[in-house]
Amino acid sequence: MSKTTHFGYETVSTTEKTERVGEVFASVASRYDVMNDLMSMGIHRVWKRFTIDLAAVRPGERVLDLASGTCDLAGKFARQVGPQGQVIASDINASMLSVGRDRMMDRGIVQAMDYVLANAEELPFPTDHFDCVTMAFGLRNVTDKDAALAEIQRVTRPGGRALILEFSKPTSAGFGKLYDEYSFKVLPRLGRYVAKDEASYRYLAESIRMHPDQDTLKGMMETAGFLRCQYYNLAGGICAVHRGFGA
């Protein structure tokens, strides 16, 4: 019997989820940045900046940015590590990775950058290899989150940092109700008119609700073997950055 998981609010086979998530991001890849700005009113840039600062990447380090998408984080890290460092932008979706690579080339960010098409559940990298591993707005789309966290821990060197930036659970019930109204009424309409894809953005809203809350994800990182795990709530818990250190 095949294993099942969630695709938004639907229960589907693990194979079907992987395929359907791929279809979602292939559909929205060309308009991904525009939609992020509209959905968050530009605040996602502040959240990413906070994550980059928390990562504290230094010259010469090796960095892996998973679910790199349009390479917002990877491009910043490439400038920080300099010519002696390495940044690998990795994504499971070829369309997203292609958009990210083209974007970096257009901006002249070629130094220290490599691109790898890979599944976060089975990373093709050596153990204890990276000084820092990041994943922004990607973990909730992974079919087996525990497997992905275990792989991230495996490739993070002892003392290295792993940071997960992801939508989470609002800390205020009243604010949470307003957030639900926005997510399930406004967001799909933005998807319909801007990205020409209402269904994909309805899935994205549902996937956020199905994602583990802050404390649950912290516990999952600890189970995966990370040390000194903690999280930082942003925008009243709409988003959170989790950080752990390699063992």
Residue 120, annotated as binding a ligand: yes
Residue 119, annotated as binding a ligand: yes
Return all residues near 25 (Cβ < 8 A) that are at least 6 apart.
32, 69, 93, 95, 96, 141
Given a cut of 80, whether residue 71 has pLDDT beyond it is: yes
Given a cut of 90, whether residue 208 has pLDDT beyond it is: no
Amino acid in the structure at residue 88:
I
Percent of the chain with pLDDT over 70: 89
Least confident window among 50-64, 76-90, 123-137, 193-207: 193-207
pLDDT score for 28: 59
Q: Which of 31-40, 55-64, 175-184 has the highest mean pLDDT?
A: 55-64
Residue 65, annotated as binding a ligand: no
Amino acid in the structure at residue 211:
H
Mean pLDDT of 188-203: 73
CATH fit for domain 25-245, picks 3.40.50.150, 3.40.462.20, 3.30.70.520, 3.20.20.70: 3.40.50.150
Given a cut of 60, whether residue 1 has pLDDT beyond it is: no
Given a cut of 90, whether residue 54 has pLDDT beyond it is: yes
Per-residue tokens: 236: 């009243």
Mean pLDDT of 100-129: 94
Mean pLDDT of 69-79: 94
Per-residue tokens: 206: 């549902």
Given a cut of 60, whether residue 200 has pLDDT beyond it is: yes
Residue 148, annotated as binding a ligand: no
Q: Where do the domains of the chain lie?
A: 25-245
Mean pLDDT of 113-136: 97
Task: List for the chain the helix, strand, coil content (%; round to 5).
Answer: 50, 25, 25
Given a cut of 70, whether residue 112 has pLDDT beyond it is: yes
pLDDT score for 11: 80
Radius of gyration of the chain (CA): 17
Q: Which residue has the higher pLDDT, 112 or 146?
A: 146
